[in-house]
Amino acid sequence: MDCRSGCGACCIAPSITSPIPGMSNGKPAGERCLHLSVEFLCALFGKPERPAVCSQFKAAEDVCGVNQAEAIRLIGWWEKMTSVA
């Protein structure tokens, strides 16, 4: 599956525990990354400072669903199922 341009769910729904430029402690699940543009595009895409976890994410239908709303719901579900609480 190809990533849907302008979706940005992977920049909102999951937590990111590694440092991100401007977010030294990463970001909590459900919080928009400060590098996500108003067009829902990553401002760090293709840059060396982009976190490895972001670069390694691969879009897949079971994670991204058929639209942004479903992607946020599914990624949020995966976040809850895999988080250490």
> pLDDT tens-digit profile of 8-33?
999 999 999 999 999 999 999 999 99
Give the pTM: 0.89
Handedness of CA 72, 63, 80, 18 (dihedral sign): negative
- Asked whether the predicted pLDDT for residue 85 surpasses 70, the reply is no
What is the Cα–Cα distance from 49 to 72, expressed in whole angstroms?
Answer: 24
Per-residue pLDDT, averaged over 37-62, amounts to 95
- Asked whether the predicted pLDDT for residue 5 surpasses 70, the reply is yes
